[in-house]
Homo-oligomer: A and B are copies of this chain.
């Protein structure tokens, strides 16, 4: 019975996510110029944005705004800007990680080459500001300016987190701790994907205390990222949309890998460090398979599962504090369920 309830809940949540996404999709299409150059700029962007993403960031932003009684129309450019920025970051991330698939289709640089894909990511990033320019007439100059400040912060944090992660791989740092990992995830993922979407929604609804969303956003975001790392290893490729095991090919310092590194000893540890030291193109399938076996043997995947569950449980507690003053309703319910959703999702 409990299982049926849970399933029903997530069907509703998926449907709600789609509904939020449909609110911002027209703004995303409208902000794309219909002029030239289309072939290697606006055309590929249009196709990319039509791929089915979860739309978590605009959903968080719109739901939070409406939950606090804010005007849906006022929040849409900002929500759309979050989704566009996310996509811009994905295009660049996929170049940086040499990833082949995204949302079940070839990554931008696989289709168009690194130079054009890099430029496309830059242009998507520039159009984020074009969307935020629309705020002036919807929410006034003062709030518009604060929204730009929030974006500035989330972007700088995200790029700092990315620099940490890329640096660990480049230096083959095999002593990354759980604490290091969580700081990196806070920076790379949580600010732009969870904390600021909530803060921005509340800001546009007229709320003053934005700091109260920071813990909820961090905990949910960290749970989300760990689940992402798990799916990358044990997910189903078709559902997940990215290549399974990609993180191992890339040598990403996930919570799973850092745990395995802390567990492995002697020859095992030496072999793991040696494989990680090679560039992506130098690693062999049997080495990646061996790493995956090791992650299972050391219980690192199970450990990550527990960590994600614990973070999600803590997030649910923080939810009550962050959203206490918001009246009950569909948006608040959506937000309440989100922490569980992010650790139970399969895509």
Contact = CB atoms under 8 A, between A and B. Distances in A.
A130 B156 CA distance: 9
B115 A166 contact: yes
Interface string A107-128: 0000011111011101101110
Contacts of A39: 167
Nearest to A119: B162
Nearest to A136: B145
Contacts of A115: 95-97, 166, 170
B133 A114 contact: no
Contacts of A92: 118-119, 122
Interface string A31-70: 0010011011100000000000000000000000000000
B122 A125 contact: yes
Given A41-B163, A119-B159, A129 B148 contact: yes
A155 interface: yes
> Number of copies of this chain in the oligomer?
2
6 contacts: A36-B164, A37-B160, A114-B114, A118-B118, A120-B163, A133-B148
A335 to B, nearest CB: 28
Interface of A: 33, 36-37, 39-41, 92, 95-97, 112-116, 118-120, 122-123, 125-127, 129-130, 133, 136, 141-142, 144-145, 148-149, 151-152, 155-156, 159-160, 162-164, 166-167, 170
A344 B180 CA distance: 53
Contacts of A119: 92, 96, 159, 162-163, 166
- Per DSSP, chain A at the interface is helix
B159 A122 contact: yes
Nearest to A152: B129
A121 B68 CA distance: 37
Given A41-B159, A114-B96, A152 B166 contact: no
Contacts of A41: 159-160, 163
Contacts of A126: 152, 155-156, 159
A36 B114 CA distance: 28
A167 B38 CA distance: 10
Contacts of A166: 40, 115-116, 119
Contact of A37 (B96, B97, B118, B163): B163
Contact of A156 (B114, B116, B127): B127
Contacts of A151: 129
A19 to B, nearest CB: 30
Given A129-B151, A141-B142, 7 more contacts: A40-B163, A41-B160, A92-B122, A116-B163, A116-B167, A122-B159, A126-B156
Closest A-B pairs by Cβ, 8 of them? A96-B115, A41-B163, A40-B167, A123-B159, A126-B155, A37-B163, A129-B152, A141-B141
